[in-house]
Structure 1
Amino acid sequence: MSFPVSAITLDLDDTLWPFAPIGARIERVLDDWLRRHCPRTAERFPIPAMRALREQVFAERTDLAHDFSQLRRLSLARAMELSGDDPLHADTAFEVFYAERNRVEFYDDAEAALARLAARVPVAAVSNGNADLAVIGIGHHFAFSLGAREHGAAKPEPSIFHAACERLGHAPGQVLHVGDHADLDVVGAHRAGLRSCWLNRPGGDGGIARWPHADLRPDLEFPTLTALADWLDATQPALARPAPLAATPPPESCPA
């Protein structure tokens, strides 16, 4: 399939890097920190119990479903309060969490392929997570980053896709959204009027997932980001990166 692409919106977690190793490391590092600084919390909430408490807080605060950072802070403060530690430690504990959250290990192809995509068209990050592209070191590849916390709603809500398209200066049908999640990324983009690419990376056993929906399919499906960059080269060889868009000031926000 071939169609024009004027810009790309790109998911981050499990698209540029796997999140599971990050999540496991965060739990270990936070547990070590709590044992040193909030021992009563660490004793009452070892890793499995802390995970269960976090899920409970997430379930209670559906109004904050778009804001993983605030949910994480609330979870830490709740654990400290229940354990008899000072909940003011939650801010420092969050800083420990956030430093680890931004230590990522890219998929082997991701950085080079991202550079190829960004050399052709504007690329914007659209994520429900709270990664900091500047801290990670890839912010220069992106026109901007739009997170669910900043926007106030998470994928698959159409509004976050539409907001990204507006800032890119292109109609939704001219923008290709790329991500790993069938529902949040592909179905969400499709319903918002964007083109969609399902990045269906092989699992640990080398197999790839089957598309789960019968009523719609992604416009594109690739096992690597390199394959998408190859497709862009092959189908749109004359495409050149347009002049930078006039800057649209992002809404005021706090760090994720």
Structure 2
Amino acid sequence: MSFPVRAITLDLDDTLWPFAPIGARIERVLDHWLRQHCPRTAARFPIPEMRALREQVFAENASLLHDLTGLRKLSLVRAMELSGDDPAHAEAAFEVFYAERNRVEFYDDAEHALERLAARVPVVALSNGNADLRVIGIDHHFAFSLGAREHGAAKPEPSIFHAACDRLGLPREQVLHVGDHVDMDVAGACRAGLRSCWLNRPDDADEVASWPHADIRPDLEFTTLAALADWLDTSHAATAAPTLESA
């Protein structure tokens, strides 16, 4: 399939890097910090209990699901208050969390593919997460970043997709959204009027998922970001090729 792409909006977690290893490392490092600075919190909320408390806080504050930073801080304050530690430590604990959150290990193809995409069209980071592109060191590849916290609503809400297109100054059908999540990324983009690309990376067993919806489908599906970069190169080359009239 070929269609005009004048810009790309790009998901981050599980698109450029896997998030599961980051999440596991955050839990270990934060637990170690709490044992040193907030021992009562660490004793009452070891990793599984801290995870359960965080999920409870998230569930109780559904109106803040676009603000993962705020929810993380709220979870830390709640844990410290319940344990008898000074909740003023929550800010320092969050800094520990955030440093680890921005230590990412890219998928093997991702960095070079991102560079190739950005050389073709403007690329916008469109994420529900709270990664810092400058700290990670890839902000120079992006025209801008639009996060759910900044916008006030998270994917798959159409408004965040529309805001990115408006800021780009482009019609929605000329913007391609790329991401791994079936509903938040692909279905969300389709329903917002953008083109969509499902990045369906193989799992640990080298198997890819099957598309689950009958009423909506992605415009493109690839197993690597490099394959999307190849498609974009070919698409742009075809567009730029001279016709008989112009030759």
TM-score with structure 2 setting the length: 0.96
> Counterpart of 1:5?
5
Paired residues in the alignment total 240
Structure 1 Cα separation of the partners of residues 170 and 139 of structure 2: 21
Deviation string, structure 1 residues 224-252 (Cα, Å, up to 9, x no partner): 00000000111221668xxxxxxxxxxxx
Structure 2 Cα separation of the partners of residues 180 and 38 of structure 1: 37
Structure 2 Cα separation of the partners of residues 83 and 239 of structure 1: 63
> Counterpart of 2:148?
148
> Counterpart of 1:132?
132
Deviation string, structure 1 residues 145-199 (Cα, Å, up to 9, x no partner): 0000000000000000000001111011000000000000000000000000000
> Counterpart of 2:79?
79
> Counterpart of 1:69?
69
Runs of 4+ in 1 over 6 A off after TM superposition: none
> Counterpart of 2:207?
207
Task: Read off the aligned partner of 2:142 and give its amino acid letter.
Answer: F
Confirm or deny that 1:22 pairs with 2:22: yes
Structure 2 Cα separation of the partners of residues 239 and 100 of structure 1: 43
Judging changes above 3 Å, is the alpha-carbon distance between structure 1 residues 239 and 13 closer, same or farther for their aligned structure 2 residues?
Answer: farther
SS in 2 for 1:237: helix
Shift of 1:121: 0.1
Structure 2 Cα separation of the partners of residues 80 and 109 of structure 1: 41
Higher helix share: 2
Task: Read off the aligned partner of 1:225 and give its amino acid letter.
Answer: L
Gaps of 5+ in 1: 241-256
TM-score with structure 1 setting the length: 0.93
SS in 1 for 2:221: strand
Task: Read off the aligned partner of 1:29 and give its amino acid letter.
Answer: V
Deviation string, structure 1 residues 116-151 (Cα, Å, up to 9, x no partner): 000000000000000000000000000000000000
Structure 2 Cα separation of the partners of residues 238 and 83 of structure 1: 63
Identity %, equivalent residues: 80
Structure 2 Cα separation of the partners of residues 93 and 4 of structure 1: 46
Task: Read off the aligned partner of 2:148 and give its amino acid letter.
Answer: A
Shift of 1:47: 0.2
Structure 1 Cα separation of the partners of residues 124 and 15 of structure 2: 13
Shift of 1:63: 1.3
Higher Cα Rg, which structure: 2
> Counterpart of 1:195?
195
